[in-house]
Every structure is written in structure tokens, then in C-alpha cells.
Amino acid sequence: MYAIEVENLTKIYGKGVTAVTAIADATLQVKPGELVAILGPSGSGKTTLLTSIGLINEPTHGKVVIDGAMVADEGWLPGLDLKRFRREKLGFIFQAHNLIPFLTALENVMIALEINYLTRKAAAVRATELLESLNLGHRLKNYPSALSGGEAQRVAIARAMANKPKVILADEPTAALDTENGKNVMALLKKLAVENHSAILVVTHDHRMVEGFDRIFHVNDGRIS
């Protein structure tokens, strides 16, 4: 079974003469344990595709299936609890790490667990284990302003992995990093995909980072190949 299945996904903004097709008839599948890239220039529709798969941006047409569950079929499935589904099934990593500045590294990971109804004590244990596994055990009590770019992105990865999601969606996760830190992050994502049997879909225009992907889809002018 695929972790991500997208069939003929189309996203149109506006109507009539002002309509703009951001993504047209996109079809792709990602298996558990795979690290897959969506590669394309700025404005090609990569992020629109990612946010549609991530239950943020409602598709105009087409189907989206996550971990065997239909979530979109000519629009969101009626009765689907989008927030709960995202919380339980999906993890997100962004170009800007989006850490909460007044929370420590540990607390930034804990909050993802606590909103999923884990007790504070259990959340602290899980978050500590994750951060230590990413070589951040010495940074648990540091605030984001005290972290390097690579360290902050690893905290963001720990937060995305916190609830053991079946799917992780990453939007330009290495764009703000230098080449060495960027490659370290991509190697880490590959390792996590295999170890956790998660499907990781990465949007990027960064050709420096393509070496470690299992497969690459190219997007140009809203069309995927």
C-alpha cells in the first residue's frame, strides 16, 4: 500500500478569465520508507501540490489518499476532520523552521505531542529521546535564538517526527542552510524514512540536494513529470 496516492490533482485559483491553474492533473505515489523529491523552479506549483496533499489547500479536482484513507475526491471528503487527520497522520517541515521563539528546543517538540493528548511527562520523555537521537541532547534547554540554522532545522524535524506520522511533507527544508548542513539534513531525512517506515515528500529547487532521493518528480508550469 502506498502512503501517498495522488490522482489527477488539479488546483485552480480564481474563476473565468482570471482563473490560474497552479497544478494540472498531477499523479504520483510514494511508498512507506521512501524519500521522494518534487523538483522545480519557483512558481512552478510545487508548494501548491504539497499543501494540497497536506490537507491545507483544497484541490479543485482529483483524488488524494493518505495511508489508505481517501481525504480528497473532487474536494475534501465530507465529514473529514482535517485538523485531527493532519495531527495524527502528517508531519510538516518548512524552509523557515517555524520554532516558537519563547519555547526551548525540548518544549517545541513537546507541544506537538501535547496537542495530540499525550501527558506532559510522557511528552517530555518522547521529545528528549528524539532530540538526543538527533545529537541535540545538549540543546534541550536552549531557545531557538541560541541554535544554529542546522540545529534549529533538526529540532523542527524532531517536532515533525514526534507523533510517528505515516507521511512527512517538507517544503524547501534546506534552502536556508549551507551545502554541508543541507546535505546533513537530507541524509537525516533519508535515515528517518527508512527507520520509521515513513513516506517523506520534499519540495525543493535546490539541485545540490538531489543525490539521496529514491525518486524525483519534476514540476514545470503546474505539470508534473
pLDDT at 65: 97
pLDDT at 41: 86
The SS3 call for residue 221 is coil
Closest of 144, 143, 201, 154 to residue 177, by C-alpha: 154
Domain limits, the chain: 4-74+81-224
pLDDT at 108: 97
Q: What CATH homologous superfamily does 4-74+81-224 map to?
A: P-loop containing nucleotide triphosphate hydrolases (3.40.50.300)
Q: What tens digit of pLDDT does each residue of 26-78 get?
A: 999 999 999 999 998 888 899 999 999 999 999 999 999 999 999 999 999 99
Residues of the chain with pLDDT under 70: none
State the Cα angle at 187 between 210 and 225, rounded to 5°. Answer: 30
pLDDT at 166: 92
